[in-house]
Amino acid sequence: MTKARNNDGSIFQVTRKSGTKAWCVEVSMGHKADGSRRRTRRTVNSLAEAKRVRVQLLKSQQEGRLTEVRNETIMTFGIYWVQSVKPQHIRPTTAADYEYRLRQYVFPYLGSVRMVDLTTQHIVKWMNDLRREGCSSNTINGARRVLAGLCKYATRTGTIPFNPVTATDPIRRSINEPTQVGKPWTLEQITKVLEEVQSYPDLDCFLHLMLHTGMRPGEVFGLRWEDYDREKKTLKVTGTLKQARLTTPDGSGVVRLLRNEPKTASSRRSISVTDALGAALERQEMYQSVSRMSAENRWSESGYVITTSVGSPIASTNLRRKYVKYLEKIEVPYIRFHDIRHSVATMALNEGVPMEQVSEVLGHSRIETTKAIYAPFVERSSENFALLVGSVLPQNKRNGEYQLDSVPPQWLKE
């Protein structure tokens, strides 16, 4: 046994279960609440390696990064984090999404690695493996963000000395990488969708709500009749309804509809109801009355505006099938439900609605978010600005033509 000065660690030889010899490095980490000493150990194959490890451990101790060796793997620690810790701070559907990403994209590759052994090299290789298997940059970066959150918690609780994800960079999206985001509908396409949809009771109110309010799909599915003020002609966004994949105790998955609080404080908002939307809501009440009589004792009084034929809240996947067939019939390009919201925002901005108003109606917490998303799609903003400024500034015109003699001479030189 090699014992250094107090608090400088010890090195001693041990025998593994296999009968082979190894060297153990032990460094003190202070005392527990009961007065007993806390120690951390590392086992290596040679004395020379043990001496190097002792230097590294003592350096980590001085920098406050030394932790006890714990045997939690990324899988065991991740399941605890996402099922016991995160639900206290985030919405149930968000926690379910985190767990799905961990089980789908992290655990199959890194699940057996101990938290204390996770390195930046592990993470870089993992992201490259996902890339080679065809995962998009959004998918990889989304899983990376969840793993970063897991490691942040592990660092805060002393399970690992530092967060290795912070030493890596997100995957950069290539120019030719396909995207799910569809090209926004034009005003003509939006008009066609609304003109034809009245003949389709399952889609009538849903598409009117989406195209007249710019609400998120989850907000439309989560809209209840109590949120509709007929006298004031307003709708209140009070929650969302989304499908979430939950993991049962036996490890299998089950999809459930969960109602959440609005995404942000700004998402809890009031939206004006146009005459056309009000008429669509009246038709929806009529459709539900007819369905209630037809369903008889099978009817479920859920209170939601968008429902199944028996009154229960409807899953987006079930409505999407009818939506796809409807667009094929009227020959309008398919876009995702969320892209309908993008179409409304783009249309409003191109028609001159101020960015601040669009941001408020969409429920964005910051106007910078609206600008970042929609600035590339707004074709007329610069044109409108130029026309407005040009209408109030002196024109330097004589006899209906612009005069070059008013231009500074130096501008005309080669």
Instruction: Sketch the domain layout of the chain as residue ranges.
Output: 2-62, 74-167, 187-377
107 has a pLDDT exceeding 80: yes
**In CATH, what number does 74-167 get?**
1.10.150.130
| Percent of the chain residues past pLDDT 90, beyond the cut | 43
365 residue type, one letter = S
Query: Alpha-carbon distance 405 to 70, whole Å?
Result: 81
CATH 3.30.70 matches 2-62 = no
The mean per-residue pLDDT over the stretch 115-141 comes to 92
**Strand partners for 272:** 234
Structure tokens at 175: 């120019």
pLDDT digits (tens, 9 = 90+) for 371-389: 777 666 665 555 555 555 5
The mean per-residue pLDDT over the stretch 355-374 comes to 78
366 has a pLDDT exceeding 70: yes
229 has a pLDDT exceeding 60: yes
Query: Alpha-carbon distance 215 to 220, whole Å?
Result: 6
Structure tokens at 337: 């439900």
> What is the rounded (10 degree) CA torsion for 93, 97, 102, 103?
90
CATH class of the 187-377 domain in this structure:
mainly alpha
Cα–chain center distance at 53: 41
Predicted local distance difference test score (pLDDT) of residue 252: 64
Q: Is 389 exposed, middle or buried (0-12, 13-18, 19+ CB in 10 A)?
A: exposed
305 has a pLDDT exceeding 90: yes
214 has a pLDDT exceeding 60: yes
Helix (H, G, I), strand (E, B) or coil at 30: strand
The mean per-residue pLDDT over the stretch 20-33 comes to 77
Residue with more model confidence, 16 or 231: 231
Phi/psi of residue 165, nearest 5 degrees: -70, -30
Between the CA of residue 371 and those of 217, 219, 376, 391, what are the distances in Å?
Answer: 21, 22, 9, 26
Tell me the longest C-alpha to C-alpha distance in the chain. Answer: 104
344 has a pLDDT exceeding 80: yes
pLDDT digits (tens, 9 = 90+) for 257-293: 888 888 778 888 899 999 999 999 999 999 999 999 9
Query: Alpha-carbon distance 285 to 262, whole Å?
Result: 25
Query: Where residue 391 falls among pLDDT bands split at 50, 70, 90?
Result: low
Strand ranges (E), 32-87: 37-44
The mean per-residue pLDDT over the stretch 38-51 comes to 81
Place of tokens 């030719």: 176
Query: Alpha-carbon distance 218 to 359, whole Å?
Result: 18
- Of 235, 191, 181, the C-alpha closest to 211 is 191
Averaged pLDDT score across all residues of the chain: 83
Residue with more model confidence, 62 or 135: 135
User: What's the chain's length in residues?
Assistant: 414
What pTM, to 2 d.p., does this model score?
A: 0.65
400 has a pLDDT exceeding 80: no
Evaluated on CA atoms 131, 136, 141, 144, the torsion sign reads negative
Q: Which of 88-92, 172-176, 236-240 has the lowest mean pLDDT?
A: 172-176
360 has a pLDDT exceeding 90: no
